């Protein structure tokens, strides 16, 4: 927020949806260990929770989370159910902490507004590549990584050839292709 205080800040829908997906997978892990009717209620409430958050009804979503926590809690519960309860508590805290940044995603989507930063994350992943993200054998200095990113960005934008033409006006046409393939 300090980098761009005038801009609109929203919580990325992708991150909410992924957390809900994990919670639902944990619920599925309880099949056979818990009563089917009870699990059906939990499933229905998780779907409602997703719908409430999609539509920006944060207060109702937080109330539903509280109800789910009560439903999951008990004296003698399995480790799997304890893990689901802990994850749901963490999700509730996450939503409560970020409720000011949860818009009506459905309305934004219908109006062609962004609900996710996935497009930006994808571009970053293309620029950076796995080698820079993960701790693998090859490590770059900050300066080296910065220079590589400049080259990769120019390749993706289609600007690298123009830059080389500016730097080397006498460069032969065939050598441009070698530079492009090397980048």
What are residue 34's DSSP bridge partners?
A: 31
If you ran DSSP here, which 8-state letter would residue 100 be given? Answer: G
* Mean pLDDT value of segment 82-109: 95
CA distance 176 to 17: 45
pLDDT of residue 102: 94
Query: How high is the mean pLDDT of the chain?
Result: 83
Question: Which has the minimum average pLDDT: 115-119, 147-151, 158-162?
Answer: 115-119
pLDDT of residue 67: 96
Contacts of 142 by beta carbon, 8 Å cutoff, 6+ apart: none
First and final CA of the chain: distance in angstroms?
A: 35
Q: Are 69 and 88 in contact (CB under 8 A)?
A: yes
CA distance 152 to 95: 37
Nearest to 125 by CA among 147, 163, 156: 156
Residue 11: C-alpha distances to residues 57, 81, 114, 134 (Å): 14, 28, 11, 25
* Residue spans per domain, the chain: 13-110, 118-182
pLDDT of residue 48: 97
pLDDT band at 149 (very low <50, low <70, confident <90, very high): confident
* Mean pLDDT value of segment 139-146: 72
Residue 4: C-alpha distances to residues 1, 99, 111, 114 (Å): 6, 19, 23, 17
CA distance 22 to 159: 41
Would the pTM of this model clear 0.85, i.e. be above it? no
């Amino acid at each position: 927020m300090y980098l761009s205080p005038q801009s609109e800040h929203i919580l990325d829908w992708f991150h909410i949806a992924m957390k809900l997906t994990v919670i639902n997978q944990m619920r599925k892990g309880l099949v056979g260990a818990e009563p089917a009717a009870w699990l059906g209620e939990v499933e229905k409430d998780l779907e409602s929770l997703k719908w409430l958050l999609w539509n920006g009804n944060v207060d109702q979503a937080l109330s539903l989370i509280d109800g789910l926590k009560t439903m999951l809690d008990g004296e003698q519960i399995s480790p799997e159910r304890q893990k689901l309860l802990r994850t749901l508590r963490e999700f509730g805290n996450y939503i409560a902490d970020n409720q000011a940044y949860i818009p009506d995603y459905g309305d934004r989507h219908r109006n062609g507004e962004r609900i996710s930063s996935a497009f930006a994350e994808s571009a970053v992943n293309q620029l950076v590549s796995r080698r820079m993200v993960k701790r693998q054998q090859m490590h770059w200095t900050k300066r080296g990584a910065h220079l590589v990113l400049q080259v990769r960005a120019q390749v993706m934008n289609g600007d690298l050839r123009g830059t080389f033409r500016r730097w080397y006006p006498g460069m032969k046409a065939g050598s441009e292709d070698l530079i492009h393939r090397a980048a």
